[in-house]
Amino acid sequence: MKYTKEHEWLRVEGDLVVVGITEHAASQLGDVVFVELPEPETQVAEGDEVCVIESVKAASDILAPVDGEIVEVNEKLADNPALVNEDALGEGWFFKMRLEDLSVLDDFMDEDEYQDLVG
C-alpha cells in the first residue's frame, strides 16, 4: 500500500489502483453518514475533487491522488457509509482507477513513512 499526505491509501489490484482513506482520517472525521462517489468512466487529473464525505463532524473532499480513469466505485457506501469507519482499509474503499503508468505510485509514502507522518 501507498499513502498520500491527504490520508488516502492506494492499493494495486491487478492493473487497477483502489483508493480509500486511512483509519487515521476516518477516526478524525468521526461517524461517516454520507459518501458522494464519482461516476465510473470519468477521467480525472491529480488534485481533482472526486468524492465528498460527510460525517457528524464535517464534510471533506477526496481528491484524485493521480491522473487516471475511475473505472469502478464502491456502491456499498451508498447504503452503508459507516463502512468507511468500520473497515477503512478494506470494505470502505471509494473507487478504483486505471492509470497509464503504475510507477507513479513510487512517489507516495510507504506504511512506515505514513506512520511517521501521523505520529
Q: Domain with 67 in it: what CATH number? A: 2.40.50.100
> Does 84 reside within a domain?
yes
What separation in angstroms does the CA of 95 have from each of 22, 52, 63, 102, 117? 14, 12, 11, 16, 24
Q: pLDDT tens, 55-71?
A: 998 899 999 999 999 99
> Does 58 reside within a domain?
yes
> Does 70 reside within a domain?
yes
Is the predicted pLDDT of residue 119 greater than 90, yes or no?
no
> Does 118 reside within a domain?
no
Instruction: State how far the Cα of 91 lies from the Cα of 94, in Å rounded to an integer.
Output: 9
Q: Write out the three cell numbers for 3.
A: 499513502
- Give the model's confidence band at 31: pLDDT under 50 very low, under 70 low, under 90 confident, else very high: very high
> Does 106 reside within a domain?
no
Instruction: State how far the Cα of 114 lies from the Cα of 69, in Å rounded to an integer.
Output: 25
Is the predicted pLDDT of residue 41 greater than 90, yes or no?
yes
Average pLDDT, the chain: 95
- pTM value is 0.93
Q: What number is the average pLDDT over the span 91-110?
A: 95
